[in-house]
């Protein structure tokens, strides 16, 4: 059986945060119903579409879910959600702070409908603290949390990370909280409220950078480029190759000794590079010396050579190279699915459980595609009742 077989999940979320969390739950076997406002998830309307005109980002995060169009701003829509909650195990939401409470759908309201419900709320800053209630997006959290201040090079402007790391780290944390609450419910029989703030979730990733500030061992800049966050490891950088770039690092003295012997350049024997502390003090000269050596070799050649010496290294791949990477294809986290409408790329799952198969993704539904199915099968509504809600603009 799948890990979350029989678990019913309602997703009242948009963009990446809650949709990624519930996508993972769907791959683990949960039955996920995605609630969308009448206008649909904003990511349905982005200009990035695949060959058949489908919204790529929306498909990545919402394939394998049933979709229902429901207006939660009106009492009839709120009643429908309450009825769905009666038979649900989990509700995941990342609407703007306070929105669910304004709709009369906050945790205290819904727990009266279903005491076993686990409600997970994702926000930028949580429910308490000076910033509680402020809206947030991945970019603004990166700004507020020093991610941007630590990304880029010392003499350049702050830079956001290429991928939307905050939203996806937040989604993974939310999944951990939900699964923990599900486990506790097996002991207590009671649900609870899970709160995940994006700022909280991303702060631990700054451990090395914060260590550099606290230790005051070096007058290190906030932005260290491709170097170690606290400039405490050297070599640690991206170095030029004939056909691009390669990363390498020597986290221990033994790694350095193997690299030094391989370089075979008298410059590598310089006393300034003798110990880790020495190398960190002279990392500019160290990087120049290593760069001269790597620049005469290809990415593949360097990766093979250094990998054979057990020196941490990797080629810097481009996005097209990533999509064709045989290991990425073999793992199936990015996968192409073919159905009766054609082929599309979506996400598999990064979670592999030896005793629980992953549920294969299916095409994300059109806006409201499963509304009638959900209302009929989950709530037992008649055709006339559904038609009445549709005529009223509720669904």
In angstroms, rounded to a whole number, what is the distance separating the alpha carbons of residues 354 and 217? 45
In angstroms, rounded to a whole number, what is the distance separating the alpha carbons of residues 138 and 165? 8
Q: Where are the alpha helices (DSSP H) in the chain?
A: 17-27, 56-62, 75-86, 99-102, 107-113, 138-144, 165-188, 198-202, 207-215, 253-263, 276-281, 283-294, 299-308, 319-323, 326-331, 371-379, 383-391
Q: Which residue has the tokens 């310089």?
A: 270
In angstroms, rounded to a whole number, what is the distance separating the alpha carbons of residues 351 and 171? 13
Cα separation values, 181 from 83, 89, 178, 385, Å = 22, 10, 5, 35
Catalytic sites, residue numbers: 167
Provide the terminal-to-terminal Cα distance of the chain, rounded to the nearest Å: 34
Strands 236-241 and 244-249: antiparallel
> Running DSSP on this structure, what letter comes out for residue 37?
-
* 115 in Cβ contact with 88 (< 8 Å): no
Cα separation values, 230 from 84, 168, 206, 286, Å = 49, 24, 10, 17
Residue 130: Cβ within 10 Å count? 7
């Amino acid at each position: 059986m799948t890990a979350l077989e029989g678990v019913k999940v309602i997703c009242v979320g948009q963009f990446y945060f809650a949709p990624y969390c519930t996508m993972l739950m769907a791959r683990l076997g949960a039955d996920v119903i995605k609630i969308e406002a009448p206008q649909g998830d904003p990511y349905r309307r982005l200009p990035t579409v695949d060959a058949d005109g489908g919204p790529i980002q929306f498909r990545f995060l919402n394939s394998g879910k049933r979709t229902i169009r429901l207006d939660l701003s009106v009492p009839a829509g709120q009643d429908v959600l309450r009825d769905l909650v009666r038979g649900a195990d989990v509700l995941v939401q990342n609407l703007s702070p306070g929105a669910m409470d304004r709709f009369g759908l906050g945790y205290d309201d819904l727990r009266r409908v279903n005491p076993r419900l686990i409600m997970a709320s994702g926000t930028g800053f949580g429910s308490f603290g000076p910033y509680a209630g402020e809206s947030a997006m991945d970019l603004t959290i990166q700004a507020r949390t020093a991610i941007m201040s630590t990304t880029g090079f010392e003499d350049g402007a702050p830079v956001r990370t290429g991928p939307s790391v905050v939203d996806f780290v937040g989604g993974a944390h939310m999944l951990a909280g939900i699964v923990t609450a599900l486990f506790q419910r097996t002991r207590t029989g009671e649900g609870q409220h899970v709160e995940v703030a994006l700022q909280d979730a991303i702060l631990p990733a700054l451990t090395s950078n914060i260590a550099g500030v606290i230790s005051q061992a070096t007058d290190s800049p906030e932005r260290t480029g491709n170097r170690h966050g606290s400039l405490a490891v050297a070599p640690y950088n991206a170095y030029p190759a004939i056909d691009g770039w390669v990363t390498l690092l020597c986290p221990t003295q033994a790694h350095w000794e193997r690299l030094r012997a391989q370089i075979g350049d008298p410059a590598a024997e310089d006393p300034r590079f003798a110990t880790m502390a020495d190398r960190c003090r002279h990392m500019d000269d160290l990087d120049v010396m290593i760069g001269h050596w790597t620049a005469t070799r290809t990415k593949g050649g360097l990766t093979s050579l250094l990998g054979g010496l057990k020196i941490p290294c990797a080629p810097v791949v481009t996005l097209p190279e990533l999509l064709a990477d045989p290991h990425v294809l073999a793992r199936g986290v990015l996968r192409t699915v073919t159905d009766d409408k054609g082929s599309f790329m979506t996400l598999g799952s990064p979670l592999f459980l030896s005793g629980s198969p992953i549920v294969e993704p299916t095409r994300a539904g059109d806006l409201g595609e499963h509304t009638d199915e959900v209302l009929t099968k989950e709530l037992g509504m008649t055709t006339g009742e559904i038609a009445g809600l549709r005529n009223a603009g509720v669904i």
